[in-house]
Structure 1
Amino acid sequence: MTMEKAVLVVVLTLMVLAPQGLSKGYVEYEEDYYYEAEGGDYEPPTFTARPQAFTVEVGQSVIIPCDVDNMGSFKLLIKKVPANGGAEKLLFAGREKITRDRRFSMDGSRVTISNARPKDAGTYYCMFGLQPPVVLRHTIDVQYAPTVRAMGRPEQHIPRGDSVTLECQAEGNPEPIIRWSRQEGPLPSGKRSEEAQSLTLEGVDRHVEGTYLCTADNGIGEAAVAAMSIIVEYPPEITTEKARIFVIVLEAVEFPVRLPDSAIVRTGEGDQVELVCLVRGRPVPEVVWTRDGLPIPNTDMMDTKLHHQQQTQHQQQDHNSHMVHSHSAHRHTLTIKHVTEKDFGAYMCIAKNSHGQKDATIQMTGLPKPPHLTSSPNGGESDTYTLTWETESYYPITEFLVKYRKTQLGTWQTNHTMVMGGSWQSISEAVDPDAELNEDTRHSMAYTLKDLEVATDYAAQVRVRNKYGWSSESETFTFSTKKALAVLQSTSTGGGARGRSALAAVTLLLAALAALM
């Protein structure tokens, strides 16, 4: 085809031609190139390259082939339609570069895109603006690593019992897969991870607190992660810890003792006691201490975890303070130095936040613990019985009191209780500290009751005393003297029919006693 057979027309317009496969729209440039035949007696150019679909990753290069035969003096146009449906863009017209993007270059009839970016994805047209147009179409898919962002606040405060849904939005090519996990360990469901667009937590409590990770992965580059923290708000919760007591020996040596009863602390004069409450809550509760309902003065509210150095200096200044309140994280400690009898009483730690209030009581006393009877309920002697018991006392037991009486079945009362018979008899006796069996704070004791009746049921209660006073009474303990001897005596007193009748009566008595036991 010669220039005599065609006329090059340069049209100044914003509208481009729309050959088959191209959408109509506006371009960045006002010049568009097309050819119009005078008589139609010419041979148009033909493309020797085939349409292709290219898939590249971000950063790679791609070559768009526009190989052509019989191009003559026609101008090869290179156009792009973005994958997101934006406006058509003219990149090259013949040897003239229209785009300002330096990553695009043209060598002969081939276009090279260096360092591909996601915005380079789309449809590329090699074309001649003839009537009808000659067009070769290629597509480029640019794959890139995912990005992800949390939908919502990065830190969410949720009231206990409510539900919350965590969501994140991911982008990438190919489309990323979203997985949920928990930084602190398994998810509340027990699984290590779950694949889902969102994660719903129902009826939350403080055990679901933590940082939840939304991970987007599509196999390209590194996976993307977004973090969301869940903080569950709830009223204060308090548990008491076993007291820690420092005993002053000869005013020089100190050693710690842990008591088994966390609600009652048994101590004595001159000791140093640490009363501990473990407090949890959201928001962080304010904690105060009282004794017998009255606020305790001179407390130190410094957080030892955050202000350890300041607290150390403060405690050095307050070294002689009788009571010091300190806390580290959830552990609140009331230290009582040089305990006196006046310090005994009911200590209460009270925790309060915007969701409620909770308290716990620790009774500090010098009194012994109520005894626990350890002897067998079935006695081995006919007229004596040895009671054995254990008690806990921080100081030696100086005296005990035993109360006992016979038990006798009476009539059923209207309140469905049975009347017990017999009057109490009391025996008190001083204790020789050297003869007492004890291990640390545990004391084992015994006493033999005499002149008891044969095969008889008894009830007993025991109290013990130390330098600070009497303990509470033990639970009522029931026992009996030896019953086999009574059977033998009753069967040996008669003979013949009378003896057989006595034997039958004894048999019935044994059956009744067995039922009672």
Structure 2
Amino acid sequence: MKTKSSRSHSLASALSSAGTIALVVILMSPQCQLQRVEVPAEVIVDPKFSSPIVNMTAPVGRDAFLTCVVQDLGPYKVAWLRVDTQTILTIQNHVITKNQRIGIANSEHKTWTMRIRDIKESDKGWYMCQINTDPMKSQMGYLDVVVPPDILDYPTSTDMVVREGSNVTLKCAATGSPEPTITWRRESGVPIELASGEEVPSVEGTDLIIPNVKRQHMGAYLCIASNGVPPSVSKRITLVVHFPPMITVQNQLIGAVEGKGVTLECESEAYPKSINYWTRERGEIVPPGGKYSSNVTEIGNYRNSMRLHINPLSQSEFGAYRCVAKNSLGDTDGTIKLYRIPPNAVNYVENFEARHKGKKRTKSSESHHPARAQEHSGEDMENPGKRKADLSLSAESIDSMYGSSAARTWRQDLDGLLPLLLATAMAVGTMRMQSTQMTRLPQTLTHV
């Protein structure tokens, strides 16, 4: 007679040989009768990956997530590894690495997500999700860490002071991932002049080369680094150009009426900024106060306007004045001659200008009447002495207005100007005749 244990063994062997695994439960009833319950077990399926790992790009300092989805995992385990170092990071829900920035989470025993907090540039690389089957199954994903640009203190240039005419190279170095591009601009928005003379709004490259630097190159330059990862950064580099003073005088000869006021003006350019003052022709400094008042107005980074106002003028104030500019690199000056004009000369000039303007208006109106224009031009050609007489002034009138010495100067000037004025008048008359003939020519041809 077979025992209970031998019966159970035989049943299990039979089920096993049939390819079915069953759980046999032996229950003891109160009447000591044996009962058997068969419960089918879950069928084990070979695990596989549901989808590939999505590559991720994240800026430095943020958190990165890599997800591995497994179907039908069963009793197998999932692990995350760093490929380049062959370091095991996690197995199932346990973190193996000592890196405290690594974490693991799973959902429904299917989705395994590895989290890397506060990522660094060194975290960039390939990561592997592995299932410990035989043979092993795995897939990989890439983590790209981008870094905003940062301008290095060295070898980036600092503020520079150079002499005018020297060669200048401004340097800018930056780090970042991807590698940043460098753009140069002037802070004021003024174009940058290249060595070829071409002016451009910006220049790309780590070096900005300015040969034979000029004072116009002086100012602030911006080195801008960008790589598509915000924010872009910039550094301000100031270029200072030193040069000795230069004086510009617009009016070197100024006439004024005694008893009135007059203003003398010069423009100076210098850097470092110059000391500006006025002197008389013998070198004595013009004292401020009283009838003299002077001021210096800055009209640019290195340009100044110098003004000297004298009011009222007396005989002693007429003569030469010098505007002087000095700095550590040198000094220079400009001369203005102030001469006396008689009061009646001012009235004569005003009357002469009024007459001259009236003649201009007459000529403008004649342009609409070719016949009248021809008549006047014919008179000029027949009697050129008449035009010359109109342009001349009598010696008595000049003597009465300016005195004998001034009259001689005025007569010399007029004697030199009269031939030129006469030739101009005759040329204008000839041009008018030609213009009139050309205007009438089509009418003659029409009648033919």
TM-score using structure 1 length: 0.51
- Other-structure match for 2:442: none
- Other-structure match for 1:284: 273
SS at match of 1:430: helix
- Alignment partner of 1:203 is 2:203: no
CA distance in 2, matches of 1:96, 1:479: 108
CA distance in 2, matches of 1:113, 1:214: 34
Matches within 5 A, 1:19-98: 48=49, 53-58=55-60, 61-65=63-67, 76=79, 78-79=81-82, 91-92=89-90, 95-96=94-95, 98=97
SS at match of 2:179: coil
- Alignment partner of 1:233 is 2:242: yes
CA distance in 1, matches of 2:141, 2:200: 46
Q: 2:104 aligns with which of 103, 106, 129?
A: 106
- Other-structure match for 1:175: 179
- Other-structure match for 2:283: 294
Q: CA deviation at 1:59?
A: 6.3
SS at match of 1:328: strand
Aligned CA distance change for structure 1 residues 347 and 379 (closer, same or farther; 3 Å): farther
CA distance in 1, matches of 2:384, 2:183: 76
Q: Is the 8 A contact 1:156 1:229 kept in 2?
A: yes
Matches within 5 A, 1:94-173: 95-96=94-95, 98-99=97-98, 101=100, 104-108=102-106, 109-114=112-117, 116-124=119-127, 137-149=140-152, 151-173=155-177
- Other-structure match for 2:340: 366
Q: Is the 8 A contact 1:379 1:385 kept in 2?
A: no
Amino acid in structure 2 at the alignment position of 1:344? F
Amino acid in structure 2 at the alignment position of 1:430? S
Q: CA deviation at 1:348?
A: 0.7
Amino acid in structure 2 at the alignment position of 1:464? A
Q: Is the 8 A contact 1:346 1:362 kept in 2?
A: yes
Aligned CA distance change for structure 1 residues 342 and 100 (closer, same or farther; 3 Å): same
- Other-structure match for 2:21: none
Q: Which structure is higher in helix share? A: 2
Unpaired segments ≥5 residues, structure 1: 1-44, 82-86, 242-261, 300-319, 391-399, 403-426, 434-461, 481-517
- Alignment partner of 1:185 is 2:127: no
When structure 1 is superposed on structure 2, of 60-69 and 262-271 the one drifting more is 60-69
CA distance in 2, matches of 1:358, 1:432: 36
Aligned CA distance change for structure 1 residues 80 and 472 (closer, same or farther; 3 Å): farther
- Alignment partner of 1:218 is 2:240: no
CA distance in 2, matches of 1:67, 1:270: 102
- Alignment partner of 1:474 is 2:408: no
TM-score using structure 2 length: 0.58
CA distance in 1, matches of 2:180, 2:78: 42
Kindly tell me the number of residue pairs found equivalent between the two proteins: 324
Q: CA deviation at 1:342?
A: 0.7
- Alignment partner of 1:324 is 2:326: no
Q: Is the 8 A contact 1:290 1:296 kept in 2?
A: yes
Q: Which structure is higher in strand share? A: 1
CA distance in 2, matches of 1:169, 1:354: 35
- Other-structure match for 2:311: 337
Amino acid in structure 2 at the alignment position of 1:327? V
- Alignment partner of 1:264 is 2:253: yes
- Other-structure match for 1:273: 262
Q: CA deviation at 1:335?
A: 2.2
Q: CA deviation at 1:76?
A: 4.2
Aligned CA distance change for structure 1 residues 80 and 286 (closer, same or farther; 3 Å): farther
Aligned CA distance change for structure 1 residues 292 and 213 (closer, same or farther; 3 Å): same
Aligned CA distance change for structure 1 residues 58 and 215 (closer, same or farther; 3 Å): same
Aligned CA distance change for structure 1 residues 363 and 98 (closer, same or farther; 3 Å): same
When structure 1 is superposed on structure 2, of 136-145 and 326-335 the one drifting more is 136-145
Q: Is the 8 A contact 2:124 2:144 kept in 1?
A: yes
Unpaired segments ≥5 residues, structure 2: 1-45, 107-111, 299-303, 350-355, 357-380, 421-448
SS at match of 2:222: strand
Q: 2:326 aligns with which of 352, 372, 380?
A: 352
- Other-structure match for 1:464: 406
Percent pairwise identity: 23
Q: Is the 8 A contact 1:367 1:470 kept in 2?
A: no
CA distance in 2, matches of 1:223, 1:357: 45
CA distance in 1, matches of 2:245, 2:414: 35
Aligned CA distance change for structure 1 residues 47 and 173 (closer, same or farther; 3 Å): farther
Q: Is the 8 A contact 1:47 1:136 kept in 2?
A: no
Aligned CA distance change for structure 1 residues 154 and 50 (closer, same or farther; 3 Å): same
CA distance in 2, matches of 1:385, 1:166: 66
Amino acid in structure 1 at the alignment position of 2:64? V
Larger radius of gyration: 2
- Other-structure match for 2:400: 430
